[in-house]
Chains A and B, each alone.
Chain A
Amino acid sequence: MKGRVLVVDDDTALAEMLGIVLRGEGFEPSFVADGDKALAAFRESKPDLVLLDLMLPGRDGIEVCRLIRAESGVPIVMLTAKSDTVDVVVGLESGADDYIVKPFKPKELVARIRARLRRSEEPAPEQLAIGDLVIDVAGHSVKREGQSIALTPLEFDLLVALARKPWQVFTREVLLEQVWGYRHAADTRLVNVHVQRLRSKVEKDPEKPEIVVTVRGVGYKAGPS
């Protein structure tokens, strides 16, 4: 397993502790403490995953997240002390794939990092269709009428999960488990935010979604192809 993790955190004690834990689990952590230097460090170290504290000196975590997302689809996991809805949603909307609320257990952190990294290990040749989209699972590409649509890995996973079983309505909990790899996580805001983001990229009219359809009171399903 690839395991380069960039830790963006200004708290040196926490960063060091994260380093200990990550090394213990076989990852290769690198560190940056300043939001302004985060992007340079990201370009330099080319990590497989970014652990990003939301409160940073210099540029704040949201901004850093946006910058990284602008040039890479690498998984970003936010570390946040605030579990308030607004903060979490803002973080997710700025491009983070997942978030983890302090204080967390090392095992929980590692599980989430693994879940984010795992997906790159399973390329099986597969062609899926959802709405008027054509998905090449192995090639990791989504095309509408030959035009390719850029998705982050997480958004891609979400779309594939829905497209594989177009007859099934997915509850948010099921999606959390299948896409994010959670067992008992109750926070379905992750799903909501990422569905919105996915829609803004793949739907012709995000107000009237045809690809990812909401089933009120239950969850989401793939639109008819």
Chain B
Amino acid sequence: MTRDSAASAPGSEARAGRPVGPPPAGSRFGRLLEGGLLHGGVQGSPVLRLFMRWVRRPLLPVMRLWRRNIQLKVVVTTLLMSLGVVLLLGFVVIGQVRNGLLDAKVKASQSQATGGFTAAKQKAEEAAGADGDDSTPADGRPSQNVIQWMSELVKSLSSGGQGAFDVVTLPMGGESGSGRGPRASGSVDWAVSVPEDLRERIDGGTAAAQSYTRIVYNSDQASQPGLVIGKQVNDPNGEPYQLYYLFPLTQEEKSLSLVRGTLATAGLFVVALLGAIAWLVVRQVVTPVRMAASIAERLSAGRLQERMKVTGEDDIARLGEAFNKMAQNLQLKISQLEDLSRMQRRFVSDVSHELRTPLTTVRMAADVIHDARVDFDPVTARSAELLADQLDRFETLLADLLEISRFDAGAAALEAEPIDLRVVVRRVVSGAEPLAERKGTRISVVGDQQPVVAEADARRVERVLRNLVVNAVEHGEGRDVVVKLAAAGGAVAVGVRDYGVGLKPGEATRVFSRFWRADPARARTTGGTGLGLSIALEDARLHGGWLQAWGEPGGGSQFRLTLPRTADEPLRGSPIPLEPADSRRNRGLQDAGLDETGGQRVASHGVDRAVGVPAQATAGQASQVPARGPIPPRSSMTAPTADPTALPGNGARVVPRPVSGARRPDGGPAEGLGRRDTGPEDPSRQGEASRGR
């Protein structure tokens, strides 16, 4: 029977009115939710997407939990999968049971109906024979007879079943003429109970046909599922009519629903148990993993003595053992390194003390001798002078060396507090005044109208700036030195600009190297140690700041110290462009209205420029005093402020740089190091050491 199997296909037999298993729409929606909503995989109209977004928003925490919690993931997956399996099993089992139950019933019904049809045929033939024999008295009212016969037929047929079935007769083709209206036993509402298409099938042929239906009664009796079998049968007059047997399937329905209920309960239990089992099993694995994760976190937070608890010898225990071994070795190595570092610091401190005490004595002795030199003969007096001078130098060198080794040992500590850089700059400038006067240099300060406050170590910042300013004066060839202050975007900066000999290509990174000297042949007037900028760089790094240099041969240089406004805040840019607006190249481009190609052309002239010196008129100028007009200090002071201080990211570079490709000088490790820190600024910039942190 084809209908049987069709009935197990959910939804296709709505007419049968027989609920078959749980409605699958819910789980389908759930799957849509899982697959589409939760993972954002829904595509479709913008409205739909908007709706999905709206739906997704409250789901976000759930999604986060989903992503982070493997236990939840496994349990939910297990639940879903076992639910699927149970549903599938349920459908199959219910289908089987239904087939088994119905097959028997249908067969019984069919034989019953066949018997009934035969009986009806016999009765019709008997009645026809009787009419034939006894036609005279009945003559003239044959149809009346048929009507009566029909009613009796229905009564007799249905009485044979004792309520196990009902009988309905219908005229052919739905016509109700000739008095042979529909009849039904047991107050069955034939119009509803006998499906239309079955009637049409009976109309169309003489074979028996059947269909599932719902038997509806005119009386109070509740409707019930049933099987209807119909056949075309002739009445005593030889006229065909439709005879239907309606078999209620209530008993089978009850059995089926019992089975279904049992299955559903069992399935539910199975699913719940599987979920619980999955939870327990995953817990066994996840708990040690979580423990490992939390302990790894504690290890990385510095609590090196943390270990995992290991029980048993299984894989988890092996993981724990391996983890603990790793932690052990880590702790060992770290403590070794710590010991080394401590020893190094101790050594530095001891050397410092051991060297300093005799040096103090020597120093004092030398000073006493130096003070008494007027009484000596000229040679001895000069010797005393040299002794005192060189002791000064020795002292500074020792101090610088110790400072550097303190940085190297990681022993330098930052004592940051909010300071106004203007105060520091003023102090530094006034300290450098005597030297500047000797050199004929004027030091001007720009950008000190507003407070420039940052969390910094005043002592270190002052040391850095003193170094920069003294260097600028020393190499400034008597020209002006401009100290510029600016603050913007979470950073403060001090730029020290000079118009002296400047820097050759590649020197901008090397100036920070220890004991590096621009020109070994050059006489140094202030007797620097060669460690000043290295220390300054370390100081800047300690602040999480940058110390960078820019320079052009003969065009002067600019050193820029950039500090984060608050300690621990990463730097993203500097309020002062590294290459000053009055650099020769920038001025050249502005004056001549040169665009990038112009710059390129100029830059292709000589090797040194190709390696990164900003545009410069002729190659020969590098070593001589630049043939430029006297730099008006005013313009050099106002130009940078006109530039909206080149906020980080908004194009610190006013003019695009030519020769970006060729601009990687030998660089050295320092440049490679600092390169990533330049952040938003032009990464191809050269002629500068972008070093920091």
Residues of A participating in the B interface, judged by any CB pair closer than 8 Å: 11, 13-14, 17-18, 20-21, 24, 55, 79, 81-82, 84-86, 102-107, 171, 173, 184, 186-189, 216-217
Contacts and interface: CB of A to CB of B under 8 A. Distances in A.
12 contacts: A17-B360, A17-B364, A21-B364, A55-B353, A81-B356, A82-B353, A84-B411, A102-B353, A102-B356, A103-B359, A171-B423, A186-B459
B419 A217 contact: yes
Contact of B453 (A21, A173, A186, A217): A217
A174 to B, nearest CB: 11
Interface string B322-353: 00000000000000000000000000010011
Nearest to B398: A103
Interface in B379-435: 395, 398, 406, 411, 413, 415, 417-420, 423, 427, 431
Contacts of A84: 349, 406, 411
Contacts of B365: 17
B353 A24 contact: no
B136 interface: no
B349 A105 contact: no
A49 B472 CA distance: 43
Nearest to B399: A83
Contacts of B458: 186, 188
A173 B427 CA distance: 10
B359 A102 contact: yes
B363 A104 contact: yes
Contact of B431 (A21, A184, A188, A217): A184
A187 B419 contact: no
Nearest to B417: A217
A20 to B, nearest CB: 6
Nearest to A11: B357
A85 B415 contact: yes
B60 interface: no
Nearest to A21: B364
Contacts of A24: 368
Contacts of A21: 364, 368
Given A82-B353, A84-B349, A217-B418, A102 B360 contact: yes
Given A84-B406, A103-B395, A184-B431, A17 B357 contact: no
A217 B367 CA distance: 39
A216 B395 contact: no
B357 A85 contact: no
A81 B364 contact: no
A105 B357 contact: no
A21 B411 CA distance: 35
Contacts of A189: 415
A14 B367 contact: no
Contacts of A216: 418
Contacts of A188: 458-459
Interface string B475-507: 000000000000000000000000000000000
Contacts of B629: none
Specify which of B364, B368, B411, B420 lies most central, judged by the most chain A CB atoms within 10 Å of its CB: B364
Contact of A11 (B361, B398, B423): B361
Given A82-B352, A85-B413, A186-B462, A107 B367 contact: yes
A81 B353 contact: yes
B399 to A, nearest CB: 8
Given A14-B360, A85-B415, A217 B420 contact: yes
A107 B368 CA distance: 10
Given A187-B459, A216-B418, A81 B352 contact: yes
Contacts of B427: 173
Interface string B506-531: 00000000000000000000000000
Interface string B444-472: 00000000010000110010000000000
Contacts of B137: none
A56 to B, nearest CB: 12
A14 B431 CA distance: 31
B358 interface: yes
B429 to A, nearest CB: 13
Contacts of A217: 417-420, 453
Nearest to B353: A81
Top 4 A-B residue pairs of the complex, sorted by shortest distance between their CB atoms: A81-B353, A102-B356, A217-B418, A81-B356
A106 B368 contact: yes
B364 A18 contact: yes
A11 to B, nearest CB: 5
A213 to B, nearest CB: 16
Specify which of B352, B406, B411, B427 lies most central, judged by the most chain A CB atoms within 10 Å of its CB: B352
A38 to B, nearest CB: 18
Contact of A105 (B363, B453, B462): B363
Contact of A81 (B357, B395, B417): B357
A105 B364 CA distance: 6
A79 B353 CA distance: 11
Contacts of B353: 55, 81-82, 102
Contact of B357 (A14, A106, A107, A186): A14
A188 B459 CA distance: 8
Interface string B361-382: 1111101100000000000000
Given A13-B361, A103-B395, A82 B420 contact: no
A21 B363 CA distance: 11
A106 B417 CA distance: 33
Specify which of B356, B413, B431 lies most central, judged by the most chain A CB atoms within 10 Å of its CB: B356
A13 B364 CA distance: 11
Nearest to B362: A103
A222 to B, nearest CB: 21
Contact of B360 (A104, A171, A184): A104
Contacts of B431: 184
Nearest to A15: B361
Nearest to B391: A103
A193 B489 CA distance: 34
A20 B368 contact: yes
A125 B349 CA distance: 47
Contacts of B360: 14, 17, 79, 102-104
Given A21-B364, A21-B368, A84-B349, A103 B356 contact: yes
A196 to B, nearest CB: 14
Contacts of B357: 11, 14, 81, 102
A184 B428 CA distance: 11
A172 to B, nearest CB: 9
B349 A103 contact: no
A173 B459 CA distance: 12
Given A11-B358, A105-B364, 5 more contacts: A18-B364, A21-B368, A102-B360, A107-B367, A189-B415
Specify which of A13, A18, A81 lies most central, judged by the most chain B CB atoms within 10 Å of its CB: A81
Given A84-B406, A186-B459, A13 B358 contact: yes
Contacts of B398: 103
Contacts of A102: 353, 356-357, 359-360
Contacts of A103: 356, 359-360, 362-363, 395, 398
A104 B361 CA distance: 9
Nearest to A53: B357
Specify which of A17, A55, A103 lies most central, judged by the most chain B CB atoms within 10 Å of its CB: A103
A14 B364 CA distance: 9
Contacts of A171: 423
A215 to B, nearest CB: 11
B383 to A, nearest CB: 19
